[in-house]
């Protein structure tokens, strides 16, 4: 009797919460699916600007790129440059918040801004995280999505409990695990879709929703780091760099040193090298990445002294604290990128099926709460 009442309570709680949070869960799932291949699509959009090399042409040096950026923005000493390991690849470069795509041989500006593809994904990301709210209201959007995500975790766990058939037999399990060839009516179809797709997506959606809590709540980060007996790290703050005039080593020399380091440390096939200047005085950070998408196991940072050219340190994921490693893993489990393109694809499909779960759940709730009127004859 108790189990029957408990299951009834779980059912109605599941239904009511699904109706209340359904819209926000749908938005997060749908935008998450759109963001599946964000990095690859942005990369393809930049490949369109690849240019042919003619005789006697030389690729711009890092110092020349820095000079171009400083000429356009003399008051922006914080500079990023990304070198892609491909003949004729355009050079993405940033001076502060100002973004450009430069011709690799002439230095001409091929594109100002991050491009249509990147701008589109920025909007989708803002919807995914903040419901497109800005300014002080951004916190409101973030909290709505954060608590909707917590309700989604409850829906997944309560749904798993409701999935359990009254009797474990072949026929019952088949109806919960496999789709039928025909359905008597749409209600039966929606109910089975809800059970079947919910079952197969459950582990993936649990991973996506549990890792999402780290982006919304301090207590989730404290719990993660606390599991490794660590405090949540405080972001380092450095004295602001006003200009790069104190850097005496040519940046191109430092880049060649970084390439040599990559060659001698298992990253000879690097895909891109990011250079960051102006974040910390007398330090150039080189992020050497052998993948397209910032996969932390396939990349590392090299810090060089801009006055002496000496190596300050290298930083790989294995050098991070256990808590930082766990956070980094969770970050890329959320997008599926931890497992590369296959992981992204699985996460994207699960997100799309989550949209279907929201749809079928709302339809079933409507049929339960608003019964059809009988037509008088």
Q: What is the pLDDT of residue 295?
A: 80
**Would you say residue 243 has pLDDT above 60?**
yes
Distance, CA of 279 to CA of 6 (rounded, Å): 57
Q: What is the pLDDT of residue 377?
A: 47
DSSP tag of 103:
-
pLDDT tens digit string along 250-294? 999 999 999 999 999 999 999 999 999 999 999 999 999 999 876
**Residue 2 clears pLDDT 60, i.e. is over it:** yes
Nearest CA-CA partner of 198 in 162, 149, 148: 162
Q: Is residue 330 part of a domain?
A: no
Residue-range definition of the domain harbouring residue 57: 39-118+235-320
Q: Which are the contacts of 357, defined by CB distance < 8 A and separation ≥ 6?
A: 194, 197, 198, 201
* Backbone angles phi and psi of 168, in degrees to 5: -85, 100
Residue 282, in any domain of the structure: yes
Percent of the chain predicted with pLDDT > 70: 98
Distances (CA, A) of 7 to 10, 47, 153, 368: 5, 55, 18, 16
The pLDDT tens digits for 150-166 are 999 999 999 999 999 98
Residue 374 has pLDDT above 80, yes or no: no
pTM of the model: 0.91
Residues 20-57: pLDDT tens digits?
A: 999 999 999 999 999 999 999 999 999 999 998 877 78
- Which residues, in sequence order, are CB contacts of 135 under 8 Å at separation 6+? none
Per-residue pLDDT at 375 exceeds 60:
no
Q: Is residue 377 one of the residues assigned to a domain?
A: no
The answer as to whether 222 is a domain residue is no
Torsion of CA 8, 14, 17, 23, to 10 degrees: -140
Read off the DSSP letter of residue 290.
S
Separation between Cα atoms, residue 307 and residue 304, nearest integer Å? 9
For residues 304 and 255, is the Cβ–Cβ distance under 8 A?
no
Residue 237 confidence (pLDDT)? 81
CB 21 within 8 A of CB 148: yes
Q: Using a CB cutoff of 8 Å and minimum separation of 24, what contacts does 122-128 make?
A: 124/31, 124/34, 124/35, 125/31, 125/35, 127/27, 127/31, 128/27, 128/28, 128/31, 128/32, 128/35
Q: Specify the DSSP class assigned to residue 75.
A: T
pLDDT at 201 > cutoff 70? yes
317: pLDDT confidence band, cut at 50, 70 and 90? Answer: very high
- Model pLDDT, residue 314: 97
Q: Are 361 and 353 in contact (CB under 8 A)?
A: no
| Distance, first Cα to last Cα, the chain | 41
Q: What is the mean pLDDT of the chain?
A: 94
Between the alpha carbon of residue 21 and those of residues 152, 219, 349, 353, 373, the distances in Å are: 8, 22, 21, 17, 27
Helix ranges (H only) for the chain are 2-34, 38-47, 62-72, 115-130, 137-163, 170-177, 186-216, 218-226, 251-264, 322-335, 340-369
- Give every CB contact of residue 48 below 8 A, 6+ residues apart in sequence: none
Question: Which tens digit of pLDDT belongs to each residue from 69-113?
Answer: 999 999 999 999 999 999 999 999 999 999 999 999 999 999 999
pLDDT of residue 174: 86
In a domain, 370, yes or no: no
Residue whose entry in the numeric block shows the structure tokens 């959320």: 334
Inside any domain, residue 86 = yes
Tokens of 10: 């779980």
Element (H, E) at 77: none
Of 290, 248, 296, nearest in space to 269 by CA? 290
Kindly state whether residue 347 falls inside one of the protein's structural domains: no
How many folded domains does the chain comprise? 1
> Does residue 146 lie within any of the structural domains?
no
Cα–Cα distance for residue pair 106/13, rounded to 1 Å: 64
Q: Quick check: 326 and 227 in contact, CB under 8 A? A: yes
pLDDT (tens digit, 9 = 90+) per residue, 117-131?
999 999 999 999 999
Token pair belonging to 297: 């196991």
Cβ(215)–Cβ(129) below 8 Å? yes
């Amino acid at each position: 009797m108790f189990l029957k009442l408990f299951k009834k309570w779980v059912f109605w709680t599941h239904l009511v919460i699904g109706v209340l949070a359904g819209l926000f869960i749908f938005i997060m799932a749908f935008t998450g699916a759109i963001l599946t291949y964000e990095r690859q699509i942005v990369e393809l959009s930049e490949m369109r600007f690849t240019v042919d090399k003619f005789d006697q042409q030389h690729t711009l040096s890092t110092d020349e790129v820095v000079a171009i950026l400083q000429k356009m923005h003399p008051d922006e000493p914080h500079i990023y440059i990304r070198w892609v390991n491909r003949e004729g690849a355009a050079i993405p470069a940033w001076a502060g918040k100002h973004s450009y795509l430069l011709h690799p041989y002439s230095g001409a500006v091929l594109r100002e801004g991050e491009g249509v593809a990147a701008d589109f994904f920025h909007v989708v990301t803002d919807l995914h995280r903040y419901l497109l709210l800005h300014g002080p209201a951004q916190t409101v959007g973030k909290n709505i999505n954060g608590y909707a995500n917590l309700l989604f975790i409850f829906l997944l766990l309560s749904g798993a409990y409701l999935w359990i058939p009254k009797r474990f037999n072949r026929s019952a399990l088949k109806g919960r695990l496999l789709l039928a060839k025909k359905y008597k009516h749409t209600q039966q179809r929606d109910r089975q879709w809800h059970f079947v797709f919910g079952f197969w997506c459950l582990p993936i959606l649990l991973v996506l929703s549990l890792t999402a809590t780290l982006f919304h709540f301090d207590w989730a980060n404290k719990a993660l780091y606390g599991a490794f007996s660590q405090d949540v790290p405080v972001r380092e703050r450095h004295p602001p760099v006003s200009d790069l005039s104190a850097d005496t080593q040519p940046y191109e020399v430092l880049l060649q040193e970084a390439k040599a380091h990559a060659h001698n440390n298992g990253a000879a096939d690097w895909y891109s090298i990011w250079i960051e200047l102006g974040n910390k005085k007398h330090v150039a950070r080189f992020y050497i990445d052998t993948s397209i998408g910032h996969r932390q196991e396939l990349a590392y940072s090299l810090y060089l002294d801009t006055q002496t050219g000496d190596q300050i340190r290298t930083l790989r994921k294995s050098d991070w604290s256990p808590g930082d490693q766990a956070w980094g893993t969770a970050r890329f489990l959320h997008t599926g990128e931890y497992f590369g393109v296959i992981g992204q694809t699985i996460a994207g499909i699960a997100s799309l099926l989550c949209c279907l779960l929201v749809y079928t759940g709302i339809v079933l709730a409507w049929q339960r709460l608003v019964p059809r009127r009988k037509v008088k004859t």
